[in-house]
Amino acid sequence: MPGERLTPLVEARALCRRFGRIEAVAGLDLRIPEGSLYGFLGPNGAGKTTVIRMLTGLLQPSSGEVLIAGRPYSEAGRGIRRMVGYVADTPPVYDYLTGRQHIAFVTSLYGVPPAVREAAAERLLEALGMSERADEICKGYSFGMKKKIHIAAVLACSPRVCFLDEPTSGLDPRSAWQLRELLREHCRRGNSVFLSTHLLETAEKVCDRIGILDRGRLRAEGTLDELRALGGEQSLEGIFLRLTAEGAQVATGNAGHPAR
């Protein structure tokens, strides 16, 4: 991919995180170029959410560092932090705000001018099918509706890099398709997306590059064609199943693509 030659918008260097004696993430190196939609895959307990929390500054690494636009996150000021958006698996909406008020509140924290955030909110609410329900309080929303408001609030901030942890959980098929279109559009504007998902078909269809994490280590990383070249499998499902089954061997460097 041409974007691989660009200065990475997000970079992780030898990132590690331990919880007591448990090493949840070990020596992770990642580079996410501008305009890239990066898929992050792994079985349950692989460490995906821990990685996202470190990349977004919500969790301090035990060692290693995260850089945003070439600057260490640990030294980042408010301007750098505003470049990062995070869509959590469980939507953190305020129950007694309306959907529209929640979006206005979040975008105000990012310093988005009122006219800009209102226009963005209307566009995203329409795209996600929430326009008619946006003036109801969030407490009465279903899980999927709360997820849509959460996604709209984050994307309305136009973050340079958006991290999403299982963003389609709770969404109906049409909304999930529309979200994929919104993420592609976000990348076409020169931003980047880091998408953690269990849906291999989604990753196969929309992601420019894919990383496969298992037992806290990046087993393989590359375009779909590069991943296919590892063992001849044509489907992402076959690649995923083989690499995660071979986790212990790959970790010793006997197989797989070196993590970048």
- Is residue 172 assigned to a domain? no
**Banded pLDDT at 217 (limits 50, 70, 90):** very high
Quick check: 2 pLDDT over 70? no
Over residues 229-241, mean pLDDT: 81
Over residues 26-33, mean pLDDT: 92
The first and second tokens of residue 211, run together, are: 């990383």
Q: Under 8 Å CB-to-CB from 113, ≥6 apart: which residues?
A: none
Domain containing residue 254: 1-83+184-260
One domain, residues 189 and 79:
yes
- Is residue 14 assigned to a domain? yes
- Is residue 174 assigned to a domain? no
- Is residue 231 assigned to a domain? yes
Quick check: 167 pLDDT over 50? yes
Q: How many domains does the chain have?
A: 2
* Dihedral pair phi/psi, residue 121, rounded to 5°: -60, -45
How high is the pLDDT of residue 76? Answer: 63
How high is the pLDDT of residue 77? Answer: 64
**Banded pLDDT at 257 (limits 50, 70, 90):** very low
Quick check: 248 pLDDT over 80? no
How high is the pLDDT of residue 230? Answer: 78
How high is the pLDDT of residue 258? Answer: 41
How high is the pLDDT of residue 253? Answer: 47
- Is residue 175 assigned to a domain? no
- Is residue 167 assigned to a domain? no
Q: Of 158, 192, 212, which marks where a domain is finished? A: 158
One domain, residues 69 and 103:
no
Q: Residue type at 184?
A: R
Q: Of 141, 158, 175, which marks where a domain is finished? A: 158
- 185-218 burial: b if 16+ Cβ within 10 Å, else e: ebbeeebbbbbbbebbebbbebbbbbbbbbbbbb
One domain, residues 78 and 101:
no
Closest CA relative to residue 244, chosen from 44, 39, 28, 8: 44
Closest CA relative to residue 172, chosen from 152, 197, 193, 147: 147
How high is the pLDDT of residue 246? Answer: 59
Q: By the 8 A CB rule, do 66 and 92 touch?
A: no
**Banded pLDDT at 213 (limits 50, 70, 90):** very high
Over residues 100-127, mean pLDDT: 94
One domain, residues 61 and 120:
no
One domain, residues 189 and 249:
yes
One domain, residues 65 and 103:
no
Find the CATH number of the domain harbouring 56: 3.40.50.300
One domain, residues 46 and 7:
yes
SS3 99: helix
How high is the pLDDT of residue 4? Answer: 46
| Residues 11, 149, 143: CA angle, nearest 5 degrees | 100
One domain, residues 151 and 221:
no
- Is residue 124 assigned to a domain? yes
Over residues 79-101, mean pLDDT: 91
How high is the pLDDT of residue 259? Answer: 41
One domain, residues 73 and 196:
yes
- Is residue 173 assigned to a domain? no
One domain, residues 35 and 49:
yes
Say how far apart CA 38 and CA 29 lie, in whole Å. Answer: 14
Over residues 111-132, mean pLDDT: 94
Over residues 77-102, mean pLDDT: 90
Q: Of 110, 143, 158, which marks where a domain is finished? A: 158
One domain, residues 56 and 128:
no
Quick check: 176 pLDDT over 70? yes
How high is the pLDDT of residue 102? Answer: 97
One domain, residues 153 and 28:
no
